[in-house]
Structure 1
Amino acid sequence: MSTVSMIVWNEFLNDARVLKEAQTLQSSGFQVVVHALHTPGVTQERETLDGGVKVVRVAKNPFWKLRKRRYLEAGKKSATNPEQKPPQAQKPATPPPETFQRQLLKLIARLSTHAGLAFQLVRSRPAAIHAHDVNVLPTAWLAAKLARVPLVYDAHEISTDREGYKAFRRLVGWIEKTLMPGAAGTITTTEARAKFFARAYGIPRPLVLQNRPRLVKASGSNRIREELGLSEPWPIVLYQGGLQPGRGLPRLVEGAASVPNAYFVFIGGGRQERELHGLSERLGLAERVRFIPTVALAELPSYTASADIGVQPIENTCLNHFTTDSNKLFEYVIAGLPVVASQLPEISRVVRQHDLGLLVPPGDTAALAEAIQRLVEDPERRAHYRDQAATAAQSLNWESQEQGLIDLYARVLPASRAGATQR
């Protein structure tokens, strides 16, 4: 059985896209090994998932014990300070100043992690190496050269124009321009992104695998209502995903003030979590704007299906957002939710083609609130969009596109086997 070794720069705990790709290749006859980051006390260094996908994790920071000791010492100091606020009332600790020594330590730790990942990739004796996103592309490229096997690159984002990547834009562009043309296969998430990569780097248009969920039947339930103790019979307006800048989430909280007879529920965590909590409290919305921490992938469909309206208010802050079609949009569809979404090209194409809900100009709080209110006060309209979602779910699922991934590997791997024969 040929091995496909994947690499990600995360702990591989809630990465739905990578998990689905790994499962597809595993079920088609490959042994898939996902190489990820290890956080002691949180993840296992090695495990085998249901279906046979193996996971090998490498510690992200070899100095984690030292850092943990420093935090414990800081905690002891704060405990002896009677004027200091209790931990739950404090803001996250401010990192120490970035001295040269600290920067050097971080660089060594990061390079050590990449070296460990590269070693494990080669050690797995793969037939192909599959890199998920640009932050592991150089490591995957090096390992592929050492193992003399083909490289497959899956660009989940346009990282040259992406929230939080401004400082690395030139470096990312250089890495992709240098390494992407040499990949035996390339993949991305939308047609617009495929067109971008083809034009930017002079490569054949990548295979498009949208971030669709598997087709699962999540029967309607009251999971959100019961878990949060929501007493009123109002519709539940749901946003699920990372609570990150540029996703229109403060506008969604502000819009809740104009939609009085509805609950607004956020499922997920991220950099804006505290900001959103504070905003809802300042606006007097804490009873109607509620939060649920990140839930396991296997549990998410039952939460989604227990809502009434799904919202994707992402803003047009960068090319990456402009070209997205959003995994949460497809998750809402599979769960049978009517949607209110930003009027961006790829999102609009899906919503209009399947008549799934209402589109609003990105960044327009009033329009967002008005669209949500229209659905909240019109059960018949919601029922229509639910029926449309049920129909669309039969085609907008992972199973309907996964053959493309299998076909890509059928093209890539003959060269690998030939190379192995020559060795």
Structure 2
Amino acid sequence: MAQQRVYVIQFTTVHTRNDTRIRLKEVTTLADRLDARVSLFVQDGLGDEEVGEGLFDIRDTGARPGGRLKRMTLGAWRMYRAVRAARPQVAHFHDPELIPVGLALKLSGIKLVYDVHEDLPRQIMGKPYIKPFMRRLVSTAAALAERAADRCFDGILPATPAIAEHFKSRHVALVQNFPILGELMAAAEEPLTNRPANFAFVGGITEIRGISEMIDAIAQVDHPEARLDLVGTFSPQKLRDAMTASPGWERVIEHGWADRPTVAALLGQVRAGLVLYLPSPNHIAAQPNKLFEYMSAGLPVIASDFPLWRKIVEGAGCGLLVNPEDPQAIAQAMDWMLRNPAEAEAMGQRGRAAVQSTYNWSKEAETLVAFYCDELGVPLKQIH
């Protein structure tokens, strides 16, 4: 009698089914490399989906409940029931609010993996929707929840070295969120000197990620044709309303959300990528995914001058560092990029070389697969 294949479920109630780390990197890698059935459980109301002619499937557990509290209670309960009913051998989740769900699933004999995208205790200290006097208490509660996860779960996969420092068990594997090689390389890249005077920001558009400062900066750039390409959605929507009233908005090109091929094409037509997150405890110690994605696309970067970011940018020689709270300094960096296209292009090429040699997903994929094989006992596919 043939042995039943291992069943692996990754699940999230917060992220979309197209999340880059979850779907494009981790789920695809595991489905491709392991001798296991792999599913991604989401909560978006878009229905079930089969990917890659049976490579893996996406299960929709229903539309996400409106509001944070309902998502964390009703949404979590619905996800718990769906995963438990599916009876996987391994369940791998991506949202800290699902730690209680993970603990409950662990009681059913399922091996649990917690994928830690953010430094949660530090992130909470900068959350605007949490009253300042409550942040320390909530941050401490989050740290205690992560300590329980560290003790009880079969695997912890932090996305950065700073996050990894919070976890002490032997079941920790650092899986960094570096770009997939070639993914953001445009089919037809124009030399920087032939491109319009445009700068790109890709990702969720929020106040803490410096949107106000970027719009103020683009208004101050000397070049009359300078433009800011925004690729992503505003959160909250009222932030967009405030930004459209800004004098710099007339220089903004708003694209909304875009898929990866569209992002790659756009990055092949701009002069530099912007990663100008404002200083917060979570940002200062974070490795911003967008920084590496711009480098992968061969773009020079204009980035916040945080110690870790400085080490990456100066180490690769791939861009300029500025005070993210100073629109004039940001504008001066943009002007420099436009006035020095040859050196800007060289910066972009050095950044791409650094991604090709060091900051790429292929190395992280090996860590992920080895963890599943060695720690969780999931076999590799046999190559005949």
Q: Shorter-chain TM-score category?
A: 0.7 to 0.9
Equivalent runs, 1:325-364 vs 2, <5 Å = 325-364=287-326
Equivalent runs, 1:16-415 vs 2, <5 Å = 16-19=20-23, 20-29=25-34, 30-39=36-45, 43-44=46-47, 46-50=48-52, 52-60=55-63, 107=70, 110-146=72-108, 148-162=109-123, 163-164=126-127, 166=130, 168-195=138-165, 197-198=166-167, 202-204=168-170, 206-216=172-182, 217-220=185-188, 234-261=196-223, 262-271=226-235, 274-276=238-240, 278-279=242-243, 281-283=245-247, 285-317=248-280, 319-395=281-357, 396-414=359-377
Tell me the amino acid that sits aligned with residue 32 of structure 1.
V
Judge conservation of contact 1:2–1:126 (CA < 8 Å) in 2.
yes
Judge conservation of contact 2:195–2:270 (CA < 8 Å) in 1.
no
Residues in 1 aligned to 2:333 and 2:321: alpha-carbon distance in whole angstroms: 8
Tell me the amino acid that sits aligned with residue 58 of structure 1.
T
Judge conservation of contact 1:150–1:412 (CA < 8 Å) in 2.
no
**Offset at residue 60 of structure 1 (A):** 4.3
- Give the TM-score of the pair, scaled to structure 2: 0.84
Query: Could you say if the C-alpha distance between residues 205 and 312 of structure 1 is closer, same or farther in structure 2, counting changes exceeding 3 Å?
Result: farther
**Offset at residue 176 of structure 1 (A):** 1.3
Gaps of 5+ in 1: 65-94, 96-102, 223-231, 418-423
Judge conservation of contact 1:236–1:265 (CA < 8 Å) in 2.
yes
Report the RMSD for the aligned CA atoms in angstroms: 2.6
Deviating more after overlay: 248-257 vs 122-131: 122-131
**Offset at residue 119 of structure 1 (A):** 2.0
Query: Could you say if the C-alpha distance between residues 397 and 346 of structure 1 is closer, same or farther in structure 2, counting changes exceeding 3 Å?
Result: same
Query: Could you say if the C-alpha distance between residues 205 and 238 of structure 1 is closer, same or farther in structure 2, counting changes exceeding 3 Å?
Result: farther
Judge conservation of contact 2:215–2:246 (CA < 8 Å) in 1.
no
Identity of aligned residues (%): 23
Question: Rg: which structure is higher?
Answer: 1
- Give the TM-score of the pair, scaled to structure 1: 0.77
**Offset at residue 281 of structure 1 (A):** 4.2
Judge conservation of contact 1:7–1:140 (CA < 8 Å) in 2.
no
- 3-state DSSP class of the match of 1:143? helix
Offset from partner CA, 1:47-79 (integer Å, 9 cap, x none): 1122612111212457x8xxxxxxxxxxxxxxx
Residues in 1 aligned to 2:333 and 2:197: alpha-carbon distance in whole angstroms: 14
- 3-state DSSP class of the match of 2:141? helix
Residues in 1 aligned to 2:56 and 2:309: alpha-carbon distance in whole angstroms: 32
Offset from partner CA, 1:201-247 (integer Å, 9 cap, x none): x435842222222112323458xxxxxxxxx9642110110011211
The equivalent residue for 2:16 is 12
Offset from partner CA, 1:257-286 (integer Å, 9 cap, x none): 221322111110122555356435431x33
